[in-house]
Structure 1
Amino acid sequence: MPDSDNVSLLRLREFLPYRLSVLSNTISTRIAALYDREFGLSIWQWRVMAVVGDRPGISATEIGQLTAMDKVAVSRAIAAMIQMGYLERKTSETDGRRSQLFLTPAGRDVYELIVPIALAEEQKLSGALTEDEQQELERLMGKLADAASPDRELW
């Protein structure tokens, strides 16, 4: 049995991965409350919509890779959004085994309504930092992303 005096304690409030996760979840939940109330979208559905809005024709696998979302969460979000009439799935013209996702006209309308809300919330958060602090945060996030994923860019 290890000597308790020599064992390092994990203090979650000081543990960077925990703190980043809690901060990310808190921010996402805060913003999600706005688009859930107005548009009935979950966090996961909005993330899928945001990615498809930014990258029309993307596959479900690519969405999972870009968002670090679980395959099941991506699949459920896509299925729900197809049922809601916000997404459509098309077979790729160049690879019949690959499905591509696109916003429907209704999905595009909702996307265009949510984007300003999301950007306004981002501005509120950024407003807590000076311009120099925002640039430093951007630099530090890049360093952490490189350290966490040296083989591929996260964003």
Structure 2
Amino acid sequence: MNKIEKLTNDILREIGSLSRAIHSISDIKYKELKLQKGQFIFLTRICENPGINFVDLSNMLKVDKTTTTKAVQKLIEAGYVDKKQDETDKRGYKLFLTEKSLEVYNLIIEEENKNIEVCLEGFAKEEKIVVNKLVKRMSKNIEEDWKNKKR
């Protein structure tokens, strides 16, 4: 029988669990806004980056283009996003927010801020800064590997 490898550190499992819990809470909250599972992450990034294209949105969120296309199409159908042909590249499209998305954007950000408060409850100000820096560094470290794997 082969030896079973041991995990050297469970940090990614903890981060994954944290992410799934937050997404689950958010999906329940946003159901009343008629946003489907996980759509809020696409909506917020489009609101924060008006005119973003599908490829850049996919790269920003670390998801494949098919996932982005499906999510954005549902947001368009729900009236949250407008898609306009790119004037310099007729094959591409740029994504823009609508009045409807502006109405819910602040609610989404409020909810995200509440989740951050809950997650960082009991942390000193310095600890919050350190956690933020370390997670950003982890994200930057994995980004190159993600880009290579997706090719």
* TM-score, structure 2 as length reference: 0.82
Q: Which residue of 1 aligns with 2:48?
A: 54
| 1:74 CA displacement | 1.3
Matched, 1:141 2:109: no
**Structure 2 residues not aligned, in runs of 5+:** 147-151
Q: How does 1:1-155 map to 2 (within 5 A)?
A: 2=2, 7-11=3-7, 14-36=9-31, 38-150=32-144
CA distance in 2, matches of 1:46, 1:142: 21
| 1:72 CA displacement | 2.5
CA distance in 2, matches of 1:128, 1:8: 37
Cα distance change of structure 1 residues 143 and 8 upon mapping to structure 2, 3 Å threshold:
farther
Letter in 2 for 1:21: G
* Aligned alpha-carbon RMSD (Å): 2.4
Q: Which residue of 1 aligns with 2:149?
A: none
Cα distance change of structure 1 residues 139 and 114 upon mapping to structure 2, 3 Å threshold:
closer
Q: Percent identity?
A: 23
CA distance in 1, matches of 2:88, 2:59: 21
CA distance in 1, matches of 2:86, 2:66: 22
* TM-score, structure 1 as length reference: 0.80
CA distance in 2, matches of 1:87, 1:29: 23
* 1:50-73 Cα distance to aligned partner (Å, 9 max, x none): 000000011111111001123222
Give yes or no for contact 2:27–2:38 (8 Å, CA) kept in 1: no
